[in-house]
Amino acid sequence: MREYKQFYINGQWVDPVTPNDLDVINPATEEVCAVISLGSEADVDLAVAAARTAFGSFGRSSRQERIELLESCVEAYKKRYNDIADAIREEMGAPHTLAVGGQAFCGQGHLEEALRVLRDFQFEEDLGEHRVFKEPIGVCGLITPWNWPVNQIGCKVAPALAVGCTMVLKPSEVAPLSAYIWSEVMHEAGVPAGVFNMINGDGPVVGTALSRHPDVDMMSFTGSTRAGTLVAQNAAPTVKRVTQELGGKSPNIILDDADLEAAVTRGVLHMYNNTGQSCNAPSRMLVPADKLAEAEAIAAKVTESVVVGDPASEDTTMGPVVSEVQFNKIQGLIEKGVEEGAKLVVGGPGRPEGIDKGYFVRPTVFSGANNQMTIAAEEIFGPVLTMIPYETEEEAIAIANDTPYGLAGYVQSENLDHARKVASRIRAGNVHINGASGGFNVPFGGYKQSGNGREWGAHGFTDFLEIKAVEGFGE
């Protein structure tokens, strides 16, 4: 069992001001796999003070110094790659293939992309005799979730380092193991003392203290819309910048001219990726009404091919959900779908057959739903797909946009021009045509209650920069 009770502050591993142990549960076994300590406001004060002091020098570091630092981070990360993948599998149940090929890969990808962008990023711009400077915003509070733990750490820490910010990271206390190893990577890479700090803790205590802190210049938050609004409210009195990547209830429009077998298969498998615990999961599949029965049959067949089980097995394609709280929430929403009259195509309440331990959920498909049903309106954050029939394309677009969220959208068509036209009408930050997914250089973020700001690539630098205009700079 791991003991990760210390915090990383000012370049050192230190004990909490007041120890407050918390067990970390392996969701596949329901057994304790680690012990951490939850931080307090006093720990936040120490971490922020270290970051504030370090910003005095790191905020004025040269591009070359930061290039060399990121190069060291990439190399140090590679050495711990498998350790990070193992931690992610253990802390949140990601199957081996996903933990290695997806989850851990994202951390390295964001570091490498930030390094690539930094080499040529324009921090200055001349407007006649005036010059505009893009300067690091200062001390950043970073709050990251449990569902893609290292991905979300990487897409915040990497650009913050690249532009010269200092930071305090609060990872999710539900899945904190990979963040601890990430912190060891930062230390091994030689990140200057105080530039990167990490403290464990919960949202009400550490998250609130960070958001309210007068010496924190920016909050970057990824998580639920409910928690994101609390961060913004706590940050408001100090008028700090707040960027948010929040929830989603993303539509997947299968147009009448799509290859139905390929489109439904793609959509179902994507829904079950990461056990449905992705904010951009295509959780609402919109299908032409006259093709609904055929689509249901395809979805059932694909679902039955999913291998649910031990995340350590290379044969497993879907692991457990992250916690008992999440398991119970999903079970309640599945039961709500049945109660509200949606057709249960496959799956349903309870654990998969043959599994009696662990937070495993039956991959589930509902059909015949509408946007007024709870399962079509609320973010379930589990392996539950809701199929919604439509009569006309205009109706499909209206259904797709009839949500307070706007993180992602999906359009399936054999006619690329047709797909492009429909994609242009989806109110979402990322729209995927025929299953395409962006690289680390493509901006990620949402419209409406899915957040504000953008992460990944060059766009991800922007949120960590202030704009200074020096007028009369030129001759």
Q: Alpha carbon 326 to chain centroid distance? A: 16
For 6-38, what is each residue's pLDDT tens digit? 999 999 999 999 999 999 999 999 999 999 999
Does the structure show a pLDDT above 80 at 475? no
For 56-96, what is each residue's pLDDT tens digit? 999 999 999 999 999 999 999 999 999 999 999 999 999 99
What is the mean pLDDT of the segment spanning 302-317? 96
Q: Which residue has the tokens 């091994």?
A: 188
Give 181's contacts (C-beta < 8 A, 6+ positions apart): 80, 83, 84, 87
Structural tokens at position 254: 């299968």
Residue 209 one-letter amino acid: A
Distances (CA, A) of 119 to 160, 319, 327, 364: 15, 39, 44, 46
Residue 318 one-letter amino acid: M
Please give the model's pTM, rounded to 2 decimal places: 0.97
Which residue in 333, 329, 321 sits closest to 358, CA to CA? 321
Give backbone dihedrals phi and psi of 235, rounded to 5 degrees, phi first: -80, -20
CATH architecture label of 251-438: 3-Layer(aba) Sandwich (3.40)
Looking at residue 8, its pLDDT comes to: 98
Domain 2-246+450-470 falls under CATH 3.40.50.920: no
Does the structure show a pLDDT above 90 at 253? yes
DSSP, res 191:
P
Give the C-alpha separation, 351 to 49, whole Å: 47
Looking at residue 238, its pLDDT comes to: 98
Give the C-alpha separation, 31 to 164, whole Å: 41
Q: Any bridge partners for residue 32, and if so which?
A: 25
For the chain, which residues make up each domain, given as ranges? 2-246+450-470, 251-438
Helix and strand counts by DSSP (H, E) for the chain? 16, 23
Q: Alpha carbon 27 to chain centroid distance? A: 19
Mean pLDDT (the chain) is 98
3-state secondary structure (DSSP) of residue 442: coil
Q: Cβ atoms within 10 A of the Cβ of 158, count?
A: 28
Which residue in 238, 246, 251 sits closest to 425, CA to CA? 251
Q: b vs e for 371-380, b when ≥16 Cβ sit within 10 Å of the residue's Cβ?
A: bebbbbbebb
CB 169 within 8 A of CB 196: yes
Looking at residue 474, its pLDDT comes to: 84
Q: Which sequence positions are flagged as catalytic?
A: 245, 279
Does the structure show a pLDDT above 80 at 263? yes
CB 141 within 8 A of CB 474: no
For 89-144, what is each residue's pLDDT tens digit? 999 999 999 999 999 999 999 999 999 999 999 999 999 999 999 999 999 999 99
Comparing 2-246+450-470 with 251-438, is the CATH topology the same?
no
Does the structure show a pLDDT above 90 at 162? yes
